[in-house]
Amino acid sequence: MKHCMKKLVTLAMLSAFALAVNAQTEKGKTIAGGSIGYSNSKSSNNAMESKQNSLTLLPSIGYFVKDNLALGLGIGYSRLTEEGSEKTQYLLNQKNTTDYFMVSPFIRRYINISDQFKFFGQFSVPMKWGNLESVTGTASPAVSVAPPSNSKTTAIGVSIEPGFAYFPTKRIGIQLSLDGLSYAWNKTENKNSHEVSKNNAFNLGTDFFAPKIGIQFHF
């Protein structure tokens, strides 16, 4: 009898633990929140100096169609700034600023680590529409430069991101994710000349210095 009771107690404890682990990510739950991403990079050689800044704000909402599996949509804003300066006597420099409106449907899968920590992988299809402004300047008034130009730009891609979520309570999740595998197609059209350029970019690897930090509410 005692042995049977011990088994029942152990089974009840394991069931309670499983329920606690899956409480935030079980079928029928809704997830709402967002993430902030920022990156900064610089490079320099004998001829040129360049730097790049990127900021992304992406509110999102999702629904768990199965335990630990959510479908959702993010809608937000992104800004990319690129600056380059030639190391010549004229100090010629160029600055490109792109402001994007973003829509990003996603699928997210959670894997339990403990009752407060979960690993997740997210597959998303980010789509961006924006405006690119290019400004060229120089330190010498004797050198003429091109007037500022504006272009409209469109970018569509796919990405796979790994991440971790920490749950201080059953309704709040704090997440940290990193860029993983991504592909993007980009089209830019000059508004004045109507000149069109297209390019493709494929990235593989995780940048630990450019994490995305976010908070999610589970209800």
Confidence of residue 8 (pLDDT cuts 50, 70, 90): very low
Question: Per-residue confidence at 15, pLDDT binned at 50, 70, 90?
Answer: very low
The region of weakest confidence among 147-161, 170-184, 193-207 is 193-207
Eight-state DSSP code of residue 47: S
Does the pLDDT value for residue 94 go beyond 70?
Answer: yes
pLDDT of residue 191: 87
Cα dihedral sign, 48-42-156-133 = negative
Mean pLDDT of 83-109: 82
- Residues 6+ away with beta carbon under 8 Å from 64: 25, 26, 27, 28, 29, 30, 31, 70
Percent of the chain at pLDDT exceeding 90: 47
Residue 175 has pLDDT above 50, yes or no: yes
Distance from C-alpha of 20 to C-alpha of 114, rounded to nearest angstrom: 9
For the chain, what's the residue count? 219
Residue 211 in this model has a pLDDT that exceeds 50: yes
N-term to C-term CA, the chain? 41
**What whole-number distance in Å separates Cα of residue 196 and Cα of residue 218?**
44
> Is residue 2 within a helix (H) or strand (E), and if so which, with residue range?
helix 2-22
Taking the domains of the chain in order of start, what are their residue ranges?
A: 2-218
The per-residue pLDDT for 205 is 65
Average the pLDDT over 42-57 and give the result.
Answer: 82
Instruction: Give the DSSP letter of residue 170.
Output: S
Tell me the per-residue pLDDT of 24-35, one tens digit each, with 9 for 90 and over.
889 999 999 999
Q: Which amino acid type is present at position 29? A: K
The three-state secondary structure class of 100 is strand
Fold of 2-218: Porin (2.40.160)
User: Percentage helix, strand, coil, to 5, in the chain?
Assistant: 10, 65, 25
Which of 83-92, 94-103, 206-215 is predicted with the least confidence, judged by mean pLDDT?
Answer: 83-92
pLDDT at 163: 92
* Of residues 57, 66, 61, the one with CA closest to residue 38: 57
Nearest to 178 by CA among 38, 42, 48: 38
Q: What's the rounded mean pLDDT across residues 152-177?
A: 92
